[in-house]
């Protein structure tokens, strides 16, 4: 099945399709890793109940420095990958997150049932289904607002207090939104019986063809054709 051979350099994998390129996977894991470090150091600064856990970083003052250092990675790497890390797919993802089709809305209305283990009816989905697009939007807006408010807080001494005061609720709200989203995201990627196989798309890059057909039929049909017309990439 040369159909699934998306990249000429990579070995032929007849039962698999390439879902995420290396650049996309690096972006995902740098974002995820830095997010969790930021979350744990931030929670320790924000909340006294988490603060004792900061001993693993070497105390609250070290955690404050780590929080800022990792924040730079969180922002710079994520932004940089749009330019150097298989950038085409990054831009495609960004574009698709803002483009909701009728099929996406139908997926979203079937989503609660699916989430709790039932079966909802929805039409063939593209590379990102409606639920994934919502998760993408929460991530995009959460990352944007947490970055902007974080910069304001970092440089608080040279900015007016009236502005800095607003950065605190914005920073926290972004954190809560992204944390709630990541809990659901991890459940679907790791624990949900139907979708947990998708984690391999973020590990090796490949998902079983069967999964692609069942969950992202529209995308699968499209890449089959693309692979014929663009054999090198």
Partner 1 sequence: MARKTVFVDTSKCTGCKACTVACKEWNELPAEKTHLVTSYQTMKDFTPNTWTYLTFIEKYQNNTMDWYMRKAQCFHCAEPACLKACSSAAIHKTDSGYVVIDQDKCIGCGYCVENCPFGVPKVDEVRKKAYKCTGCIDRVENNLTPACVQTCQPGALEYGERDTLLPKAKARLEQVKKEHAQARLYGETEMGGTTFLYLLFDSPDVYGLPNNPTMPLSLSLWQDFVRPVGTFAVGGAAAAVVVGVLGNLFKGRYSSGSEKRDLSDGSEQEKGGKR
Residues that bind partner 1 (CB under 8 A): 13, 15-16, 45-48, 51, 60-61, 64, 115-118, 156-157, 161, 164-166, 168-169, 172-173, 175-177, 179-181, 183-184, 187, 191-194, 196-197, 200, 204, 206-208, 210-211, 214
Cβ closest to partner 1, residue 16 vs residue 127? 16
Instruction: State the minimum distance, in angstroms, from the CB of residue 190 to partner 1.
Output: 10
Q: Tell me how far, at minimum, the Cβ of 35 lies from partner 1, in Å.
A: 14
We find the least distance from the C-beta atom of residue 162 to partner 1, in angstroms, to be: 8
Nearer to partner 1, 55 or 230 (CB): 55
Q: What is the 3-state secondary structure (H, E, C) of the chain?
A: CHHHCCCCCCCCCCCEEECCCHHHHHHHHHHHHHHHHHHHHHHHHHCCCCHHHHHHHCCHHHHHHHHHHHHHHHHHHHHHHHHHCCHHHHHHHHHHHCCCCHHHHHHHHHHHHHHCCCCCCCCCCCCCCHHHHHHHHHHHHHHHHHHHHHHHHHCHHHCCHHHHHHHHHHHHHHHHHHHHHHHHHHHHHHHCCCCHHHHHHHHCCEEEHHHHHHHCHHHHHHHHHHHHHCCCC
Q: Compute the least distance from the CB of residue 223 to partner 1, in Å.
A: 18
Measured from the CB atom, is 77 or 170 closer to partner 1?
170
Please, which residue, 65 or 76, has the CB nearer to partner 1?
Answer: 65
Nearer to partner 1, 77 or 159 (CB): 159
Nearest distance in Å: CB 102, partner 1: 25
């Amino acid at each position: 099945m040369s159909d699934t051979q998306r990249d000429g350099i990579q070995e032929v994998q007849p039962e698999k399709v390439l879902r995420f390129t290396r650049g996309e996977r690096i972006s995902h894991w740098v974002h995820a890793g830095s997010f969790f470090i930021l979350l744990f150091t931030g929670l320790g600064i924000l909340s006294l109940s988490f603060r004792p856990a900061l001993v693993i970083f070497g105390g609250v003052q070290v955690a404050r420095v780590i929080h800022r250092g990792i924040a730079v990675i969180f922002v710079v790497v994520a932004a940089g990958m749009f330019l150097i890390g298989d950038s085409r797919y990054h831009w495609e993802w960004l574009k698709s997150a803002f483009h909701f089709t009728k099929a996406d809305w139908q997926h979203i209305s079937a989503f609660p049932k699916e989430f709790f283990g039932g079966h909802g009816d929805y039409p063939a989905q593209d590379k990102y289904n409606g639920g994934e697009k919502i998760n993408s939007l929460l991530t995009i807006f959460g990352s944007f607002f947490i970055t902007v408010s974080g910069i304001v807080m970092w440089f608080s001494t040279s900015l007016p207090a009236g502005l800095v005061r607003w950065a605190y609720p914005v920073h926290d709200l972004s954190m809560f939104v992204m944390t709630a989203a990541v809990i659901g995201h991890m459940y679907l990627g790791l624990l949900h019986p139907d979708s947990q196989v998708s984690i391999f798309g973020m590990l090796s890059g490949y998902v079983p063809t069967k999964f692609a057909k069942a969950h992202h039929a529209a995308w699968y049909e499209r890449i089959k054709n693309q692979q014929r017309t663009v054999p090198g990439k």
